[in-house]
Structure 1
Amino acid sequence: MVDVSVDVVPSPILSVSGAVPGTPGSPDAAVAWHYGDPFGEQKAAAERVAIVDRSHRFVLNITGAERLSWLHTITSQHVANLGDRQSAENLDLDLNGRVLHHFVLTDLDATVWIDTEADRGPELLSFLSKMVFWADAKPAEASDHAVLSLLGPRVTALTETLGLDELPGVYEAVPLEGGGFLRRMPWPSADSFDLIIPRERLAAWWSRLTDAGAEPAGMWAFEALRVAAVRPRIGLDTDERTIPHEARWIGGVTEFGAVHLDKGCYRGQETVARVHNLGKPPRNLVLLHLDGSADERPAAGDDVTAGGRTIGRVGTVIDHYEFGPIALALVKRSIPADTPLTAGSAAAAIDPDSVPDDDTPQAGRLAIDRLRGR
């Protein structure tokens, strides 16, 4: 079991009737895991409109005239020309191109807002602070802000409640009355919105949106939709060896990725470029369907084996309202999708639709072949 616990103050939304907190020591222990009807909450998030308390996310901001151009030089995404009220996903890599941090950022009214995993936030802030040097950029924790998420096709019915004329497009953000902003995300579903709001208004926004028809849903619902969408969560679906290609983070803003392939130098870029141009990632992130009759479910970090041989690691394990028990896993790229697998002690099978299509020859390899007359 991967230890991703962190000391986070329990959310005030846990006082809502029926709220069941996440398992102690889990990354979601400080917020509600469900409100008494886990599968009903998932269905609400997929088919109607649900509100999820994600106030345990670590929020920081960056001010200063060079905040974007500076951030552009030290991270994987192309953000130098990010427009006002625009968002992106981004990574911090180590020198060998392994993923250290994944975060979402929004530039709004001369401030970059960043939210990331609670256990990774302090380390990310420390890294950013050490990299400022002479740039006009000032990173700081914004613990006075929190994250709520709205999921489902009926979010449109809440436009007036949100005080807006219309909802933003994907990765766009709009300010909210009383502070904070609403941002649209491309995952965990096609209708996903984050509110980054003053923490003191967390309970007020929760009441306002639930009174208008948003159904309370726990992190179980959010995680089930995320896993089904094959979207990784750092620390659960990644390990210390994970590179961006393995976790599907390659792509610019318009591609809903976190690594732009045509930007300038940044730490870890050599590995990204080498894999993109000459090689293939050693592992792929895939969706596993698990045997629901097994006595024990696997846990994040357990081995995935084929014929007794370890070929990968288990990530997030979740029960989905339609698909039953599913999980994300990093498995060797060479493993065929129809290979019988064992995840922990449970039988497992790769969802063939989740296997990336990476058979296209790389540009660098083709160029080498041309030079060699092949």
Structure 2
Amino acid sequence: MTYRSPLLDRTGAVAATGADAGIAWHYGDPVAEQRALVRGGAVVDQSHLAVVRLTGPDRLTWLHSITSQDVAALPPRTSTELFVLSPQGRVEHALGVVDDGTSTWLVTEPDHVDDLVAWLTKMRFMMRVEIEDVTAGYAAIGEPVAAEGTPDEPVTWVDTWPTVAPGGTRYGPPPAEHPGADRDWRLVLVDRARLTDAVAEREAAGWRLAGTWATEALRVEAWRPRLAREVDERTVPHELDWLRTAVHLHKGCYRGQETVARVHNLGRPPRRLVMLHLDGSQHVVPEAGSEVRLGGPDGKVVGTVTTVARHHELGPVALAVVKRNVPEDAELAVVGTIGQGADAQELAVAAAQEVVVPGEGVSSDRPEGRGDTMRGLTPRGSDGAPSLL
């Protein structure tokens, strides 16, 4: 059954599409909504997101053993995030995680929840853990707040991006210099039957109801990757600078750990995330999935746009994943199609890149190489770097 939020009945609501289908793209004034979110005075319907609850005395040690993050002793009301990786180290699931002292709550994209629950159930074995998809009972609302939830509040997950969590590392700038440092964001899980009331309470306090036009624009500005947008079947966390918050490099063995460690220690991510500033003179923007080409519209295809947004100050911007060896100062063009069927037209837009993951592909704490002692460990690519994937 296709989900449709009751907040889409608001006057002026325009429905979002794709990964955010079921909630509002905006409510009639997306620029004002975005500015309210920046000021810390907006609430956002995120009720399409999926929620999974884990109970039982083994829930944290078990989750710790099968995922990328150290959550064995996660304190109550302390937010983190983690990956479920494939055996080859590619991202399959990205989960917001918080424990309330009795249950562990996982927040993820709606299209991934069935596969997630099936995999978790398969991995339970004899552990004392119960796994339940509780999306029907709980809805998420987004707030521009950085504070963890209190014992008197509903379960709350705080986005810690771009902080480098214990055991993590970074490819991009340190947290204080990162463009995401000023982006406060958390998800509050309320009883789904109280969704409209919870939003109304915040509006009564002077907050504005905002849509995903606003949240996505600020996410792009913050270089914040998202499972439903930036991840494809080949993605390893290093490419998106996602070792910051979702991976503990020194914890015990888990599926995909070998690739995570190998790329961090010896190799370079085969691709890298960039932010693109798009030429807005044509008054239209390309869509996610458009090609990124080197040098101009007729150049070689070197990547794919993953998210496109209109920022209230920066104008049209995008996140894209490109080949690691694309020069950081290269002129790029985004080429895609607008319209459908007989009305479809090709659109080419000039793009200037802002580096998220540097082309050298070296993290801030990558171990020093040992010269000849490293030879033969892995096959090498055309640039002489170990080819790991």
For residues 72-128 of structure 1, the C-alpha deviation after alignment (integer angstroms, 9 at most, x for no partner) is 111111111111111211111111111111110110031000110011111111111
The answer as to 2:33 corresponding to 1:59 is no
Alpha-carbon separation, structure 2, partners of 1:186 and 1:297: 30
Aligned length: 340
Q: TM-score, normalised by structure 1?
A: 0.85
| Contact 2:230 2:307 (8 Å CA) reproduced | yes
Alpha-carbon separation, structure 2, partners of 1:13 and 1:191: 23
Q: What secondary structure does 1:236 align onto? A: helix
Q: What secondary structure does 2:213 align onto? A: helix
The answer as to 2:349 corresponding to 1:351 is no
| Contact 1:296 1:346 (8 Å CA) reproduced | no
Task: Supply the AA of the counterpart residue of 1:348.
Answer: A
Alpha-carbon separation, structure 2, partners of 1:371 and 1:233: 34
Alpha-carbon separation, structure 2, partners of 1:266 and 1:183: 24
Q: TM-score, normalised by structure 2?
A: 0.82
The answer as to 2:302 corresponding to 1:302 is no
Residue of structure 2 equivalent to 1:293: 281
1:337 is displaced (CA, Å) by 2.2
1:295 is displaced (CA, Å) by 6.7
1:335 is displaced (CA, Å) by 1.6
Residue of structure 2 equivalent to 1:45: 37
The answer as to 2:105 corresponding to 1:118 is no
Alpha-carbon separation, structure 2, partners of 1:220 and 1:42: 8
Q: 1:176 to 1:119 in 2, by over 3 A?
A: farther
Residue of structure 2 equivalent to 1:319: 310
Alpha-carbon separation, structure 1, partners of 2:59 and 2:262: 29
**Equivalent residue in structure 2 for 1:95, among 82, 87, 92:** 87
**Equivalent residue in structure 1 for 2:9, among 15, 23, 46:** 15
1:234-273 pair list within 5 angstroms: 234-251=227-244, 257-273=245-261
Alpha-carbon separation, structure 2, partners of 1:276 and 1:146: 37
For residues 273-317 of structure 1, the C-alpha deviation after alignment (integer angstroms, 9 at most, x for no partner) is 100110110111110011112475322222211041111111100
**Identity, % of aligned positions:** 44
1:360 is displaced (CA, Å) by 5.9
Task: Supply the AA of the counterpart residue of 1:99.
Answer: V
Q: 1:45 to 1:363 in 2, by over 3 A?
A: closer
Residue of structure 1 equivalent to 2:203: 210
Gaps of 5+ in 2: 162-179, 336-347, 376-389
Residue of structure 1 equivalent to 2:218: 225
| Contact 2:328 2:359 (8 Å CA) reproduced | no
1:249 is displaced (CA, Å) by 1.1
Q: What secondary structure does 2:239 align onto? A: coil
1:164-179 pair list within 5 angstroms: 168=147, 172-176=148-152
Q: 1:363 to 1:22 in 2, by over 3 A?
A: closer
Q: 1:55 to 1:356 in 2, by over 3 A?
A: farther
Q: What secondary structure does 1:366 align onto? A: coil
1:227 is displaced (CA, Å) by 0.7
Task: Supply the AA of the counterpart residue of 1:76.
Answer: S
Backbone CA RMSD of aligned residues = 2.1
Alpha-carbon separation, structure 1, partners of 2:122 and 2:219: 33
